[in-house]
Structure 1
């Protein structure tokens, strides 16, 4: 297996490194709005944007994606309010690459995992970024890890 760019290996677990590019842009914009609220004497804007900035920073540190080859499962924790989710490889359906465009400009691209739970298909976000190429590279690395795990078993 080649050198991993988006994951670190810890025994049989592969832990995704922090992908903070998209989140940092949102945090900087919210913090700037909070500072702007101070200078414009708008305490409501200041408090709302300040609290959202703190919550977004906390969400960055709580996000976690782990691929465990021994337990044959994905472990995902997406943010503050969502519970940690375990997705066995047997429940996996597909990966989905979705991008949002405004006037031919891609503003957000997300890599999602589709799986079944209690007979219903569900989707969770694994990573977000600005370019399709970056999310495709993350997906390629996930598939490489997954296929190497299948070779072991």
Structure 2
């Protein structure tokens, strides 16, 4: 597996991977999760998207966004065939390293309150819930991981 920055022309691959990874949430949430409608061309142009590949086959996607509050882990998706093999954790590890590389100490994210398995995973990986908020019709759970102790 290798993680590389997404390139122009990868938007359709990112979109398909994310749509497939999030599709099972649609019945639970009653609507498509926000990442299913994201503008991946813009994410690529901004240098915010990465693809996890094995033998040139996309197995995961990662979107990171610089914010005033720290590095936002905006989206992480793993293809069904690659789930349960530690690839999501590896991409989060990359996001942590990227946070520090960019001189920041806070990696943060939000997820939908109905994505309980994601909340549990992020908690196991050291994220803590900071608050909950309604945004754009979504009930979001905000979480953070402070990385200051890992710098150096």
Same fold (TM over 0.5): no
Q: TM-score with structure 2 length normalisation?
A: 0.26
